[in-house]
Structure 1
Amino acid sequence: MSDKPGSGASGPTDLQDILRAPGFCRHSTGHTAVVEWDADTGWSAPAVGPYATLPLDPATLGLHYGQAVFEGLKAFRGEDGSVSLFRPDDHGRRLARSAERLAMAEMPADLFTRACAQLVAAAEEWVPGGYGQSLYIRPLLLATEADLGLRPSRRYRCVFLAYPADPCFGSGFRPLAVTTATETVRAVRGGTGESKCAGNYAASLLTRTRAQAAGYDEVLWLDGLDRRRVEELSTMNVFFVWRDGDGSRLTTPPCEGTIVRGLTRDSLLTLAGDLGLPAVQEPTAIDDVVDGVRSGRLAEMFACGTAGVVVAVGRIGAGGEDLTVGDGREGPVTRRLRTALLDVQHGRTPDKHGWLLRVGATGAAHAHVIPTDAPHTDEGGGRNA
């Protein structure tokens, strides 16, 4: 391994020190992959190069009218030392859905995956080997044409960044404290709540900052109409574990256009089935959550997402009350599901669902990586590939 951190890194200068305790996205690998789209020529092939600032005209459409969407996915080091991306095609398809909602060019999923694979291959030494650690990849798709007219851009750039990372709330998975939003809403049906667009996250910051000042980690958003149904946190989906006779039943709010279709969420629903845990998507009223906490019927609550993995919710503020979920500690179902997910991601258990794509210098063939000078254009040159 090289002992030189990449461009943009700060703190420790020895790569081994960084990988032992990377934190969350504090140290860039110094590599990026870039894919561009032009209305006349279509999509370019991925180009991997050094980390650099973006040259943007002050009149860039993406800055003025918010045509900016992003993704977050991870590459993991397996028990045998190999490196694999987790569900890259699904992340690529989700980026395309977000782009479609904002009238942006939709990158084909195979091109998205090739860009990720080439970036990981260039930065393979930066993939940490600790359980729960990963190489976090952040693709940002931005409108780059300079024009002040309100219209879709005719040019886009997708920049893929890479950072060695611990889970964003820490590798100890300390239970979170959350509070409901009472004066603001995150999304309504017909809006952009399902999309991973920059504006959604900006709109959450004021409420999230106020929640943190009041002693909470995150905001639990309610529906935008009557504010009765639970939706999600600012950056994570939520699950509830209900006592059901002698067993447990797992529920999560349904995706109906107002919450992000989390791939960690989807993976956990699948893994719950593998583990024999009944799991359903169903609307959940905040009053039922409060009543469940008081009665003990709600045994556990947890949040999940690519950056945070799976982390328990130990305390919830709602209706002027501050309630402890269960005994305030992580419950067995939460722990079991997180372990099942991480075991697949690190290759400790078989990948029965085809979620892992082996990449990196030793696994490039498995990723179907194309040369960076090979063209990739839209059929017919249309905007929506």
Structure 2
Amino acid sequence: MLQSLTIELTKTKKQQPPADQLGFGNYYTDHMFIMDYEEGKGWHSPRIVPYQPIVLDPAAKVFHYGQTIFEGLKAYKTDDGRVLLFRPQKNFERMNRSNERLSVPELPVDDAIEALKQLLTVDQDWIPSAPGTSLYIRPFIIATQPQLGVAPSTHYYFMIIMSPVGAYYKEGVNPVKIFVESDYVRSVKGGVGEAKTAGNYAAGLKAQEVAKEKGYSQVLWLDGVHRKYIEEVGSMNVFFKIAGTVYTPALNGSILAGVTRGSIIELLKHWNIPVVERPITIEELYEADRNGQLEEAFGTGTAAVISPIGELNWKDDVLLINGGNTGELSKKLYDTLTGIQVGKLPDPLGWMVEATVVRA
């Protein structure tokens, strides 16, 4: 399929921002990838074109019925100039699981990875190399059929855009404050909580606004049925170190199976640190703190990598974790994972994929 890939280079390159002004998701590279899907024809017409607006019919199904899937991964530049991707196969495999849930056609994983490598070849100069920076990659699919009717679309775009980024949270690797949501519900088992689709994030915006007004960076969701089982933070999976064992909520059909989450579990097992996936109640967590057993908490995700949690607020009961400081394990995990990602540390579990890039 990608044998027919066409590349149109921009005639006007953008000015790249300084590394210390990147923020997250504010700037975009010179080019993007697009591929079409048509029922009966399949995926076709792969192309790299200058970054630009796209034109859609007002009746496109993505606007009315929410058929859209996205992913997030990163590319890193090593000291010797290599470009590394962190487990891209996992992201595109998860994209297909999301596709299945939203009745979107399956994406050829190998072609998607090859398309990404080709795009990185064209825009490799946009990959920042300053400490803490990376190139964030956003693959996504949208339904484009212009037809008002509740049924899966017959036409889609698969696209990849890229953005040089710094830290996701302004706190950086310092602990963040999290508000535990007790009123709003994001998802339940059988819904689309385990799919990476836009509606999941739209459903969390109101709670996020409330948390921000109270001075908190993010929302920790409880389950939508009993309102007591911990699920995930809006942009992260969560882990808790209690009496020497690391616990994380088990995947239950309403929690996103994070690529970083899975990698942290693998890394902890590699270090022979006990790690348990099971349902965890918010009451249990507060009880562990009262007993002096709650040692650390942290979130994991592509954007933030590892984000220590220094404070939780559940129904105005403020829980200060590890004195509000970054825990020893959280820091070790962050240093190790980021060290592997940028090629400064060995990759014992074979996670990194080299994106062989040459000057276009």
TM-score range, shorter chain: over 0.9
Does the CA-based 8 Å contact 1:138-1:161 persist in structure 2?
A: yes
Does the CA-based 8 Å contact 1:25-1:164 persist in structure 2?
A: yes
RMSD across aligned positions (CA): 1.8
What is the identity percentage for the equivalent residue pairs of Structure 1 and Structure 2?
37
CA distance in 2, matches of 1:176, 1:18: 25
Does the CA-based 8 Å contact 1:312-1:330 persist in structure 2?
A: yes
1:100-122: CA deviation from partner (whole Å, max 9, x where unpaired):
10001110211211121111111
2:326 corresponds to 1:330: yes
Does the CA-based 8 Å contact 2:96-2:107 persist in structure 1?
A: yes
Residue 130 of structure 2 is matched in structure 1 by 130
**Correspondence 1:1-385 to 2 at 5 A:** 13=15, 15=16, 17-44=17-44, 46-170=46-170, 172-243=172-243, 248-362=244-358
Does the CA-based 8 Å contact 1:194-1:259 persist in structure 2?
A: yes
Q: 1:22 Cα deviation (Å)?
A: 1.8
Q: 1:162 Cα deviation (Å)?
A: 0.4
Letter of the structure 2 residue corresponding to residue 279 of structure 1: V
CA distance in 2, matches of 1:319, 1:226: 16
CA distance in 2, matches of 1:360, 1:45: 23
**Equivalent position SS for 1:301:** strand
CA distance in 2, matches of 1:44, 1:87: 25
**Equivalent position SS for 1:44:** strand
Does the CA-based 8 Å contact 1:230-1:286 persist in structure 2?
A: yes
**Unaligned 5+ runs, structure 2:** 1-10
Q: 1:360 Cα deviation (Å)?
A: 4.6
Aligned residues: 350
Q: 1:156 Cα deviation (Å)?
A: 0.6
**TM-score where L is the length of structure 2:** 0.93
Does the CA-based 8 Å contact 1:35-1:115 persist in structure 2?
A: no
**TM-score where L is the length of structure 1:** 0.87
Does the CA-based 8 Å contact 2:117-2:357 persist in structure 1?
A: no
CA distance in 1, matches of 2:209, 2:158: 29
CA distance in 2, matches of 1:110, 1:167: 30
Residue 10 of structure 1 is matched in structure 2 by none
1:240-275: CA deviation from partner (whole Å, max 9, x where unpaired):
0112xxxx2111101111110000001111111222
**Equivalent position SS for 1:196:** coil
**Equivalent position SS for 2:114:** helix
CA distance in 2, matches of 1:6, 1:226: 53
Letter of the structure 1 residue corresponding to residue 265 of structure 2: L
